[in-house]
């Protein structure tokens, strides 16, 4: 078929299907228009969300409050706010809060942490003081400089005059089976006689 014949055939096809072709073109243009419009709307929404977020935190500072408050956490609050404003924002104190050392008028700063301590009852304070006294007494007893033959390590036992690897091992082996009730019981350990005992008795103790 010649080019001229092809051209006429194509022309006849266009004329016969003119309406269909026009409708198809309109549909394609409509789809393209919708795609472009949706893209613009999506971009606009994203920009609006970013602007809203920016406006939301503009002029705000982030402050973390913990401890004895009803709703601890991170709060965004106005720059000029004070501790009392933050307390109100998080729902107030619990009934166990100790606010004696808390300055409610203090101005807040960005990234600050406020911790509200728990109120210590008098009974709990007395118990704490008693435990502290016991710990002090215990530490004083532990710092007498004596070596406890029931608990000392091999290296600590070797610090005793005349006690080497063998005697230290013998002491440890003995106490693994029988606890030393008094320092004199060390005489039951193989290799320790009266002379050796007299040389170390002032430096050893038991529980």
Q: In what order do the strands lie in the sheet with 112-116?
A: 73-78, 60-67, 112-116
60-116: CATH topology is Ubiquitin-like (UB roll) (3.10.20)
pLDDT, averaged across the chain:
81
Q: Name 107's bridge partners.
A: 82
For 98, counting Cβ atoms within 10 Å of its Cβ (0-12 exposed, 13-18 middle, 19+ buried), the class is: middle
Which tokens is 125 given? 């304070």
The pLDDT assigned to 32 comes to 84
| pLDDT tens profile 13-53 | 666 676 777 777 888 888 887 888 777 666 555 656 766 66
CA separation, residue 162 to residues 122, 167, 199 (Å): 53, 9, 8
The pLDDT assigned to 122 comes to 59
Residue 96 CB neighbour total at 10 angstroms: 13
The pLDDT assigned to 143 comes to 46
Confidence of residue 175 (pLDDT cuts 50, 70, 90): very high
Crossing angle, helix 3-16 and helix 18-57, to 10 degrees? 70
Nearest to 152 by CA among 205, 83, 90: 205
Do 190 and 170 form a contact (C-beta atoms < 8 A)?
yes
pLDDT of residue 170 exceeding 90, the answer is yes
CA distance 180 to 176: 10
Which tokens is 150 given? 């029931």
The pLDDT assigned to 36 comes to 80
Which tokens is 108 given? 């807040």
Specify the CATH class of 142-205 in words. mainly alpha
Confidence of residue 145 (pLDDT cuts 50, 70, 90): confident
Q: What would the mean pLDDT of 71-99 be, rounded to a whole number?
A: 93
Torsion angle in degrees (nearest 10) through CA of 92, 96, 102, 104: 20
């Amino acid at each position: 078929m010649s080019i001229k014949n092809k051209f006429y055939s194509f022309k006849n096809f266009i004329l016969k299907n003119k309406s269909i072709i026009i409708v198809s073109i309109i549909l394609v243009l409509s789809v393209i228009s919708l795609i472009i419009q949706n893209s613009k709307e999506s971009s606009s929404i994203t920009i609006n969300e970013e602007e809203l977020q920016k406006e939301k935190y503009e002029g705000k500072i982030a402050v973390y409050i913990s401890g004895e408050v009803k709703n601890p956490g991170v709060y965004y609050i106005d720059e000029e706010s004070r501790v009392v404003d933050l307390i109100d924002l998080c729902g107030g104190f619990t009934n166990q809060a100790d606010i004696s050392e808390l300055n409610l008028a203090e101005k807040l700063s960005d990234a600050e942490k406020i911790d509200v301590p728990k109120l210590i009852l008098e009974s709990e304070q007395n118990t704490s003081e008693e435990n502290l006294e016991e710990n002090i007494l215990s530490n004083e007893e532990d710092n007498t400089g004596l070596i406890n033959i029931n608990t000392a390590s091999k290296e600590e036992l070797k610090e005793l005059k005349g006690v080497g690897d063998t005697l230290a091992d013998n002491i440890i082996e003995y106490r693994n089976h029988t606890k030393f009730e008094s320092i004199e019981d060390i005489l039951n350990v193989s290799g320790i006689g009266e002379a050796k005992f007299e040389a170390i008795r002032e430096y050893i103790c038991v529980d």
